[in-house]
Chains A and B, each alone.
Chain A
Amino acid sequence: MHEWALAEAVASAAIRIAKEEKLKSISIVNVSLGELQQVDVEIFKFALSEIKSNIPMLKDADFNVKIVKAEFKCRVCGYRWTFRREVLNEEVQEAIHFIPELAHSFIRCPNCSSPDFEVVKGRGVWLESIVGVK
C-alpha cells in the first residue's frame, strides 16, 4: 500500500511545520489529494489514523481530506480538459497512481494529440494548512 508512504509524508510534514511554528499540539490538518494520483481515500485516512496514534503531538488531530479534480492544459494548442480515469486501462491507472507525471506517457491532448501538456491542478498530495495549540 503506497498510500501509507504518502500518509507518513503528510504526518512528517505536519510535525515539521508545527515545530517551526512552535505549536504544542496539532488539532487540524487539511490535506488535498489530486485526483490524478487516484489515492484510495479510505486507505489513506486509515493510515493517517494509525500513524497519528503513535505521535503525541498529532494524536488528537483531525485530518480533513479534500479531493481536487485534475485538469490539464495543452502547451501546444491551449486546449483544456479534465482527467477521466475510466478511459485508461488498469495498468496505466496504476502507473499514474505511482508516478502522476507518467500521465505524459499515456495521455494525449484530445485536440491536437500532443503529450506536452500541463497538469494545471489536481496532481497529488498537498498539505494545505494545519491548526494547532501554542
Chain B
Amino acid sequence: MADPRISIIEERLRNIKHIIAVSSGKGGVGKSLVASMLALILARKGFNVGLFDLDFTSPSTHLILGVEGLMPEEDKGVIPPLTNGIKYMSITYYSGKNVSPLRGSDISNALIELLAITRWNSLDYLIIDMPPGISDSTLDLLRLVRRVKFLIVTSPSKLAFETVRKLIALLREMNFPIIGLIENMDMKGSPYIREMAERLRINYLGSIPFDFALEDALGDVNALLKTKFSESLMKIVDEIYN
C-alpha cells in the first residue's frame, strides 16, 4: 500500500532552517570539498550545522574532515555525532571501508531510510554533498525534500559547464531555488564561466583557485582552514550573506 518512511521525512527535517545541496552535473569538480568546507566554515561562524554525505557509492567527506571512530547514537532513531562542531551523517558509519555496489533503486531506498531515521533536531544549515550528475539521488532529493536549495559547483571547463547548464535547466523547470554558482580549480582566470553565469542569470558567487597545498591538508581540519581554497570559500560565504 505505502512506504511508511516517506511520510515521516518532512517531520524529520522540520526544524532545519536551510537545506543546501552542493551539486554539479560533472564529477570531480570539488563538490565534496566545497560541501565539507562550507559546513566547517558555517560551524566556525557559530551556526548549528549538519553535513549529510549522499554519495553512497563513493563517499569522501569523512576523509576530507578526517572523521574516524565515530558512530551515531541510537535514540528513537539515529543521532548524527558531532565532528568539528558539525552534526555529521554518512553511510560509512555502517559500510566502513567495504564497497557499496548499489543500483539506482538501492540508492533511493538507502536515501529514504536515512532521511526517515536520522534525527537532526534543529539546525541552521543542513549541507548535503551530492553525487555527480542528475540521476537517482538528485531526483530523489527533488521528490522528497521540497525545500532544498542548490549550490552548484563547476570547474572552468566547458565540459563541466555544459553539464551544469542542464542541471540548472532542470532545477528551473521544477522551480527549485539556486543559490548560485561556484567556479572551482581556477587556473587561468578566464572570464568564461562568469560570463556564462551572467547570460543564464545565475548568481556567480566567485572562484576558488587550483590549490596545490590542498592534497596534503586533506583529513586535517586545521590545515584545511589555512588553505587558499578555504580562504576563497570564506569570501564566497561572506558574499552569500551580504
Give residues in A with beta carbon < 8 Å to B. 1-2, 4-6, 8-10, 12-14, 16-17, 31, 94-95, 98-102, 104-106, 115-116, 123-130
Q: A101-B102, A104-B100, A104-B101 are in contact. Are A5 and B110 (CB under 8 A)?
A: no
B5 within 8 A of A: yes
Contact status A2-B74, CB under 8 Å: yes
Q: How large is the interface on B (under 10, 10 to 19, 20 to 34, 35 or more residues)?
A: 20 to 34
Contact status A13-B95, CB under 8 Å: no
Within 8 A of A (CB), among B107-158: 107, 109-110, 113-114, 116-117, 119
Min CB gap B72→A, angstroms:
8
Q: A1-B74, A104-B101 are in contact. Are A6 and B109 (CB under 8 A)?
A: no
Contact status A101-B4, CB under 8 Å: no
9 sample A-B contacts, Cβ–Cβ < 8 Å, listed by A number: A8-B8, A9-B7, A9-B8, A12-B8, A99-B113, A101-B56, A104-B100, A105-B95, A130-B1
A residues near B114, Cβ cutoff 8 Å: 99
Contact status B109-A100, CB under 8 Å: yes
B162 within 8 A of A: no
B20 within 8 A of A: no
CA gap between A94 and B110 in the complex, in Å: 15
Contact status B101-A6, CB under 8 Å: no
B residues near A126, Cβ cutoff 8 Å: 1-4
Residue in chain B with minimal CB distance to A47: B76
